[in-house]
Chains A and B, each alone.
Chain A
């Protein structure tokens, strides 16, 4: 098992190098450091000296991918790409291109907790709610409850999450005044600000997930062992939770695990809608101000988490299904 995980981590490293190369090429082919310097210094007259100073401060003053003037391995290592990649892999993110955004590492450490407070409850509650709802529909399979439940699911799936947020903010914050419209506070006060976004995103994601889980459960519920369980005289709830749910676990883990990397990124849209100072809002601001240093860092962290959560999913398989072996 350890061997397997180590091999997966090694492959993950190769993938990360690929991701890094792609983002580097994407960002720097079109926006040269000179362009970025001009954009970030601002103002109409930017002297070449200012640009050189800006680039030197951030280490952009070397050749991009290949240094023809250097000797030996320095041809590759004395470049912007090498410097930036190595520092990324060492988790030293440097400073943002834009002065107001500050030190990226510090910002990420500060905002990570906020994002997790929003997304972890969203993830856990969402998973629970949709599994329960799907099991409930399966319990009533073949009846009007099931039929109309699916109809409601399809209609709710067809509504953009932006609608849920806007309408929810209007109903619960403006009309009923149950929760603040947006903002954030530290400590226990945070709960007041987080209830609404968590609840709304729960509703927005419920329908799609529940409908998918329902098909999984229905597939299992038609199998022979379920009939045996029922023939033994087990209660329908026991059959569903102990037999059907247990056996439908693998695909549920796969689909829920795919959402894991986004936990850290925070609800991109949710955070900026509700003014929660997490990583998602940070990323959106960075996109808006074209701050490539931040976007590159977030891409790197996002892919790292994607790789880690994929390994985690595989480990979870062995837990959910003892027949699965790691090779």
Chain B
């Protein structure tokens, strides 16, 4: 069966970013001082635990970033046509969740739908009459779900045991995998080494058990672990798809601020004089416009642009992808002022130092001094800002989606899920599971990113002093 690879804009950038990350890791391993500083980051248990979570989410993002379109079955010698639906490897892995679509809402692990339906009378049944001989309307009840718990003959009695059995199986699998991991890591977990690796193992173990539950509960004729939404789509699937959106926004938009901030910030601090005045004027103008309005204006522009140029994309997904790509560019172009200001101040300080004076005396050109002597010494600021921005941008995406200038509504995102949940929360009885799913995933990612960012800042910022007393390795209870 044929397929056609679809290369989306954000895919390309994500893969390039991964390559860049790999190159950076290689660079860090060679450079002793960088290696020592990163070593300090990973000494912290919180940083290790959160990087495990972030790596797991990155994994989801990566397999969700290989897109293709299946070939449609053709008759004879026709040209091959491709499905209009673009899928990713993640869709393939979660094929079961995609296919098991219900009619409408259903609660997590439910066997029956959430919305009552009229049950049509079976053919041959006599209509039920009331005392006047008028046929009663057919009874309304919660319908059985097509997929959720479909294997149960009598849901009332078999439901709970089945769920418990699946939970037990999931726990067993998760614990077994965690045990194997522990064996593999046993050298790292030696008593001599601080507790960082141990907390990494604990968070990996928790993740594995959670995955075990999710897989066991939805395996075969299983359930919708986090329920289904209004159109009957699995909420767990939506949440996993939203992870990529969050990562794209968080990383791409931060990346997009870098070129402008780096070039302008260093140039302003290095050249001073009129260059500095112009650049300062630029970023003061930019930062004096209320950020959300500027973004809204740009997004409205992009919308008009996309409507006028339908030839740029073939499918709906490509359009949504182009939109999120442009949104990241917009966030980058409107958000460089803060970092630029930091870099300018730092460069102003650095250019007066002896080693820069020495470089000038040796006859090094402006470009060379900025690239080789100043840039490496402001990289810690760039790194700290980048990791701090990551989590705030994920939170920002939800607000932007609420205002209506976020990602395309067709694209799964946490902002979209929260937006939908607003209506669902005002139903009676409430539909809480989409909201809860978005909450859990979002807090998980943002919390991990925040903890990781804190550790990076503590290690890289020369001004940040460790307030907590450093625990000695052998004093740690194991």
A-to-B contact residues, CB < 8 Å:
14-15, 18-19, 22-23, 26-27, 29-31, 35, 141-142, 147, 154-155, 157-163, 166, 169-170, 174, 218, 261-262, 265, 268-269, 283-284, 287-288, 290, 295, 298-299, 302-303, 306-307
Q: How far is the CB of A149 from chain B (nearest CB, A)?
A: 13
B38 contacts the other chain (Cβ, under 8 Å)?
no
Report the Cα distance A325→B450, complex, angstroms.
38
B12 contacts the other chain (Cβ, under 8 Å)?
no
**Taking A19-B285, A265-B290 as contacts, is the C-beta distance between A163 and B418 under 8 angstroms?**
yes
Among B436-457, those with CB < 8 Å from A are 439, 442-443, 446-447, 450-451, 454
Assess whether A288 is in contact with B404, with CB atoms less than 8 Å apart: yes
Report the Cα distance A88→B288, complex, angstroms.
16
How many CB-defined contacts (below 8 Å) exist between A and B? Answer: 115
Assess whether A290 is in contact with B289, with CB atoms less than 8 Å apart: no
Assess whether A160 is in contact with B300, with CB atoms less than 8 Å apart: no
Assess whether B447 is in contact with A155, with CB atoms less than 8 Å apart: yes
Q: How far is the CB of B214 from chain A (nearest CB, A)?
A: 22
Q: How far is the CB of A234 from chain B (nearest CB, A)?
A: 23
B320 contacts the other chain (Cβ, under 8 Å)?
no
Report the Cα distance A123→B241, complex, angstroms.
37
Assess whether B293 is in contact with A283, with CB atoms less than 8 Å apart: yes
Assess whether A154 is in contact with B285, with CB atoms less than 8 Å apart: no
The interface residues of chain B, by DSSP majority, are classed as helix
- Out of B296, B405, B430, B451, name the residue touching A170 (CB < 8 Å): B430
Report the Cα distance A174→B428, complex, angstroms.
10
Q: Looking across the interface, which residue of chain A has its beta carbon closest to that of B286?
A: A22
Assess whether B425 is in contact with A19, with CB atoms less than 8 Å apart: no
Assess whether A14 is in contact with B293, with CB atoms less than 8 Å apart: no
Assess whether B403 is in contact with A268, with CB atoms less than 8 Å apart: yes
Assess whether B290 is in contact with A154, with CB atoms less than 8 Å apart: no
Report the Cα distance A35→B304, complex, angstroms.
10
Report the Cα distance A214→B404, complex, angstroms.
35
Assess whether B402 is in contact with A162, with CB atoms less than 8 Å apart: yes
- Out of B294, B404, B405, B422, name the residue touching A166 (CB < 8 Å): B422
- Out of A155, A162, A298, name the residue touching B293 (CB < 8 Å): A298
Among B380-419, those with CB < 8 Å from A are 391, 395, 398-399, 402-405, 414, 418
B-to-A contact residues, CB < 8 Å:
281, 284-290, 292-294, 296-298, 300-301, 304-305, 391, 395, 398-399, 402-405, 414, 418, 421-422, 425-426, 430, 435, 439, 442-443, 446-447, 450-451, 454, 467-469
Report the Cα distance A284→B290, complex, angstroms.
13
**Taking A155-B447, A160-B398, A287-B404 as contacts, is the C-beta distance between A18 and B285 under 8 angstroms?**
yes
Report the Cα distance A158→B421, complex, angstroms.
19
Chain A residues with CB under 8 Å of B402's CB are 162, 269
Q: How far is the CB of B356 from chain A (nearest CB, A)?
A: 28
Chain A residues with CB under 8 Å of B391's CB are 158
**Taking A26-B298, A166-B425, A287-B403 as contacts, is the C-beta distance between A295 and B293 under 8 angstroms?**
yes
Report the Cα distance A198→B136, complex, angstroms.
52
Assess whether A261 is in contact with B404, with CB atoms less than 8 Å apart: no
Chain A CB within 10 Å, residue with most, of B289, B402, B442, B469 = B289
Assess whether B288 is in contact with A19, with CB atoms less than 8 Å apart: yes
Q: Looking across the interface, which residue of chain B has its beta carbon closest to that of A31?
A: B304
- Out of A14, A159, A163, A218, name the residue touching B281 (CB < 8 Å): A14
**Taking A22-B285, A23-B297, A158-B446 as contacts, is the C-beta distance between A284 and B439 under 8 angstroms?**
no
Report the Cα distance A75→B282, complex, angstroms.
27
Additional 15 contacts, C-beta under 8 A, given A162-B402, A303-B290:
A15-B281, A19-B288, A31-B300, A141-B467, A154-B447, A159-B442, A160-B399, A163-B418, A269-B399, A284-B404, A287-B300, A290-B300, A306-B288, A306-B290, A307-B288
